[in-house]
Amino acid sequence: TPQGDFAGSCFVTIPGPLTDPPFSDSAIAKMRGYFMANLNIDGSGAMMAARGAVPALHDCCEGGYSYDWVRDGALSMLALQALQNSEVGTVGWTHQVTPDVVREKMTAYIGWVKHVQGLHNASFSHYDGDQMVTAMIDSHLEPKWNISTGKPYIYNWCRKQSDG
């Protein structure tokens, strides 16, 4: 039963380090497969945080969620490199993170980053309140990109983001 700061939450404190791994090799391989399925979407090099419907977003995205967040993509590539040839990256029989897998995913990701950075100062139509306006893309400050169009997110939401 959670106690102290965790009372009423789903977190459970444990008395010390576990003596056995909390997940089987096949469970780790399955999670790794889900992770890698969100990299290099449709060969674009983009990374998607959540495929398909995202109920918490209240029907925000016709056709499902298909956005690349710049920071999430960079952190995912860092994680992929850390998994390369590690025990967590290779246990189980499927979705192993080998140097060839990392090279393929990273090469595609670099292509995606070059694409979005190459749109810097291009003309771009997006909503500002209820009105569609045209402005120049500042690709250094646009963190959310539509994977299917390869352009920044067009709807209202804290543009320009500069919090990191």
User: 25-29, 44-48, 141-145, 156-160: which range is least confident on average?
Assistant: 156-160
Mean pLDDT across 36-43? 94
Q: Whose CA is closest to 75, among 47, 113, 34, 45?
A: 47
Q: Whose CA is closest to 46, among 154, 158, 152, 164?
A: 152
Residue 6 or residue 27, greater confidence: 27
Q: What is the mean pLDDT of the chain?
A: 86
Q: Supply the DSSP symbol for 107.
A: H
For the chain, the first-to-last Cα distance in angstroms comes to 37
Q: Is the pLDDT of residue 7 over 70?
A: no
Give tens-digit pLDDT for 83-114: 998 999 999 989 999 999 999 999 999 999 99
Q: Is the pLDDT of residue 156 over 80?
A: no
